[in-house]
Amino acid sequence: MSHRVVATIDRRALAHNLEIARQYAPLSKVLAVIKADAYGHGLLACAEALRAADVLGVTDVEEAERLRRHGIHQDILVMQGILDKSDVRRIAELGLQVVIHRTEDLALLEAELGRMRLPHRLTFWLKLDTGMGRLGIQPAEVERVHLALRRQKWTEEVILMTHLANAGTPESALNSTQVLNFARSCQALADFTPQTSIAASAALLALDVHGDYIRPGLMLYGSSPFAWQDAERRRDQFGLHNVMTLQARLISIHQHQSGDNIGYNSQFICPQPMCVGIVSIGYADGYPGHTPNGCPVLVGDQRTHTVGRVSMDMLAIDLTNCDEAKVGDWVTLWGERLPIDEIAAHTGVISYQLSSGLSQRVPRIYR
C-alpha cells in the first residue's frame, strides 16, 4: 500500500460482535446502531456486514437515504427523529421507522401523512425521558401520545423506548430510577402490550433490562462502553473482537541529545540521548491534537509511546528501544493489540470520539 495512513476495518469482527450482543439477550430483536457513518467505520460497508440485524439505526434521513440508494432493504430507524415536514414525506416514501420524542411531532405527522397515499403503514418508536434529560416526552404524557399515534390509519406499531444516562456506571442509582419510571409508563399501556427497548451497549452488558429490542452500538465496533480503569469490563472480557486498526508510516528517524526540543511549544525536551521517529499522522487525520506525552503506540511488536505535541499530520514517538525500526514501517495507533479504549483513556476522550472523529482523508480498507 502506498498510503501514509490507513484504517483497516474487519467486517467479520463486526458480524462476530453482533452475535455477542444476541447472546446477551437471545429473546430480543437487535437494532444495530450505525449512526455517524457507523462511528467512523463506514456506513455502507458496516450495514452490509450487519445484515443479520433486525433493524439498523441511523442519525437522520440522509443516512437512511444513502442506505436505501445502495440496496439496503432492512428496516431502518431514524433515531434523531423528524427535523421538519420534508422529513415526514421522505420517511413515508422510503418505508423508514422513526423516533418520536416531542409532542409537537403529532400535528406534523397528521398534517403531512393525512395528504399522502402510503404504500404501507409506519412504525414509530416513542421515546420517553425517564431521567436522561436529553430527548423524550415526559412519562405523564405517554398514554396520550401513544393513543394519538396508535389510532392513526397510517400507524403499524408504536414501540416504547428510553435511554439510560448512567449505564456505563452500572452501580448508579439513576439506572434503577429510570427503569422504574419506564416500567410505570408501560403499565399505563398494559391493554396494548407495546414492545419496548431500553438497553444500549452498556446496559446490555451489565444490566438485566433488555426489552423486546436491544440497541448495541459501541460494542459492535469492538469497544467496551466502560472505563478503561475497570479491568473486569474491558473488551476481551466480553469476547468482543477488534474492528478498526489505525496505522501510519514511519517517515523519519533521528538521534537526539539530552535537552533537545521535540515539536511545537517544547512540550517534550529529551531527558537523555534518545532516538525519535516521526509518524505521518496528526490531528488533521483525526488523531487527537491534545494527546499528552506517553500515549502508547506499536512499532511492529514493540510497544513505545508518543513524545511532543501532535502536529497537523505528524507526531513524534520514542524509538530508543526499537532497534529494528526503519523508515517506511507501519506504526499502529490502535488495533487488536493496542485497544482503542486504552488510547481513549490516555487522551482523555471516549473511544466513540476517536473512531467517529477519524478524518475522511484516511482511507478505510475493508476485509
Handedness of CA 167, 169, 170, 174 (dihedral sign): negative
C-alpha cell at 354: 476517536
- The residue with cell 409537537 is 104
Question: Which residue, 8, 51, 68, 59, is CA-closest to 34?
Answer: 59
Q: Active-site residue 35, yes or no?
A: yes
Euclidean distance between CA atoms 295 and 343, whole angstroms: 7
Q: Of the residues 39, 127, 264, 352, which is catalytic?
A: 264
Euclidean distance between CA atoms 346 and 225, whole angstroms: 16
Query: Is the distance from CB of 204 to CB of 216 less than 8 angstroms?
Result: yes
Euclidean distance between CA atoms 166 and 60, whole angstroms: 25
* Helical (H) or strand (E) element with 146: helix 142-150
Question: Which residue, 84, 214, 85, 213, is CA-closest to 158?
Answer: 213
Q: Is 328 exposed, middle or buried (0-12, 13-18, 19+ CB in 10 A)?
A: exposed
Q: Active-site residue 264, yes or no?
A: yes
Q: Of the residues 24, 29, 35, 287, which is catalytic?
A: 35
Which positions are annotated as active-site residues?
Answer: 35, 264
